[in-house]
Every structure is written in structure tokens, then in C-alpha cells.
Amino acid sequence: MKNDIDYLKNIYNFHTTMIQNKVIVVYQGEITHQIVKAFSALTEEAMNKQGEDTFGVKKKVYHIMIECLQNIFKYADDPETGQPQDIGSGVFVVERTESAYSVTTGNAIANSKIEAIRSLLKNVNELDKKELNVLYNKTMMEGSLSDNGGAGLGFIDIARKTGQKLVCHFEPINDNTSFFLLRMIVIRN
């Protein structure tokens, strides 16, 4: 009996933590194509209800969700083995404060992928908007979708459209894998 109450209290604590962090959408689990569409629509609804954001802000948040969720779906690896999965799993959290939306995504990846992602994000964070436009066009012209150019284009596009740094962290899971976390900001205006 007590365990049931403790469990429910934990959920309450989880709920209040989310409220404190101004979370408006959160999901943990398999990211199928249907989930991508459903949660992006859900986030659009949540933003519309609030009624204060410009078209541009809403569109950017929507775009970040589509790009990142599709990346998880396509590129997330098995957390134990680091092997590719048919359907990726992960977590994402959308927060809204007075000044900005924050979208954070997380998924397991094979350790072998870390360097490429880290250096791409480091590069992207150092460029200004003009340079990002050039990099975007160059990557689009040269890349094929089977490269990691598929995921890279998304990061470049998010950086140039938001004008904000992409914050990443790789939390080790085991010898094969780490959990890749990425936080993106959209300023509300």
C-alpha cells in the first residue's frame, strides 16, 4: 500500500519538476514516423493555444521538432550494443519561458559516432549566419542522403534559423554507447 502511495508521490514530484521547468511537451520512447507527426502537431497546438507567438517562432519550433525527431528515428542506436535500430528511441522535452522555447532531444548512439557529431556542432556554433548559409548550401549540393550529411544538414539549418548555439552533451552509457543530448533555443519575439 505504502509503495503505491510513494509511487504516486513520485509522479507528483515529477509533475511539479516539469512545471517548474516550464515543460509543455515531453515524450520518452520509440520515435516512429507517426510519433514524429503526432508530437509536432501537438506542439503546434500548444503554441497556438498560448496565442502570443509569431508565425516565425512557431514554425522554427515545429521545424526543430521534425528534424530532431526524424534524426532520432533514423539514427538512434541500441543503447546496449550501439547497433543501428529499425526504429530509434529517445527523449524530447519542450519548455516555454517568457523569452524563449527550449527543445531538448536525447538518444543513444554508438561511441564511434561521437567525434563527427561533436566536431560538426563545434563548427556550426562558431559560424555566423552568412557562413552558415554558405555551409548549408555547400553541404546540400555535395552531400548524398546516405551520408551523415543527412543529419548534418538539419543541425546547420537549425543553427542558421535560430541564430543560437546548439548545446550538446554525450553522457556515457557503457563501453559501446553514449546518450547524445542536444538543446536548441528559439527566441520568442
Binding site for other proteins (CB under 8 A): 33, 36-37, 54-56, 59-60, 62-63, 66-67, 70, 133, 137, 140-141, 143, 145, 150, 153-154, 157, 161
Q: Provide the phi-psi class of 174: left if phi over 0, else alpha when psi is between -120 and 50, else beta.
A: beta
Cell readout for 18 is: 516539469
> Sign of the C-alpha dihedral, residues 159, 162, 163, 164?
negative
**Least distance (Å) from other proteins to the CB of residue 137?**
7
Q: Which is nearer to other proteins, 5 or 145 (CB)?
A: 145
**DSSP collapsed to 3 states, 45-75:** HHHHHHCCCCHHHHHHHHHHHHHHHHHHHHH
Q: Which is nearer to other proteins, 107 or 176 (CB)?
A: 107
**Least distance (Å) from other proteins to the CB of residue 154?**
5
- Quote the distance between the C-alpha of residue 151 and its chain's center: 12
**Least distance (Å) from other proteins to the CB of residue 133?**
7
Q: Which is nearer to other proteins, 116 or 140 (CB)?
A: 140
Q: Which is nearer to other proteins, 22 or 59 (CB)?
A: 59
**Least distance (Å) from other proteins to the CB of residue 160?**
10
Sheet with 177-187: list strands edge to edge. 23-30, 89-96, 100-110, 177-187, 167-172
The owner of cell 560538426 is: 120
- How far apart CA 76 and CA 72 sit, in angstroms, is 5
Q: Which is nearer to other proteins, 19 or 145 (CB)?
A: 145
**Least distance (Å) from other proteins to the CB of residue 129?**
11
